[in-house]
Amino acid sequence: MSNPYQHQTLPFGQAGEPPLWAPYYGAPFPVAIKRFWQKYTAFSGRASRSEYWWWALVAGVVSIILQIITSAGTAGASAGTSGATTGAGLIIGGILAVVWGLATIVPSLALVARRLHDVNMSAWLMLIVLIPFLGWLALIVLMVLPSNPAGQRFDQPAGI
């Protein structure tokens, strides 16, 4: 029996990626980002470590850029006699941060749920972040764990 999660071999030696319902182990950067957006609200199924961590990298870089824009707006603000005025960067950075957050919160939660499924854990464990201080650390540890073959119970192939 062949492994359905391996790269599929296509004619002429081209490698294909697994179907969307399956995790893509060793996903390259652009494919991982594409799959993140394609599986926008998919809380079922699984996600590989590479799919999760490539997205974490993108989300972190965008957050840093938005923070720089917002900080530049704060530094550019001048204090007047009637109080502090805000710079354009602060307003633009704030708006962009809100738009980014609203656009990515649902797919990010879905990705965390799929990653937990890949390590054979319930998606409800993402609520561990509600524990002050240690919750985020515990979730990061769970995201680092290797895949567990028993997590296949969360797979729902299309057409079945």
Q: What is the pLDDT of residues 30-43, one digit of tens each?
A: 999 999 999 999 99
The phi, psi pair for 79, rounded to 5°, reads: -90, 115
Residue 15 pLDDT grade (very low, low, confident, very high; cuts 50, 70, 90): low
* Average pLDDT score over the chain: 85
Cα torsion 34, 135, 69, 41 to 10°: value is 30
| Cα(134)–Cα(156) distance, integer angstroms | 33
pLDDT at 79 over 90: no
What's the pLDDT at 10? 40
**Residue of 88 and 86 predicted with greater confidence:** 88
What's the pLDDT at 12? 40
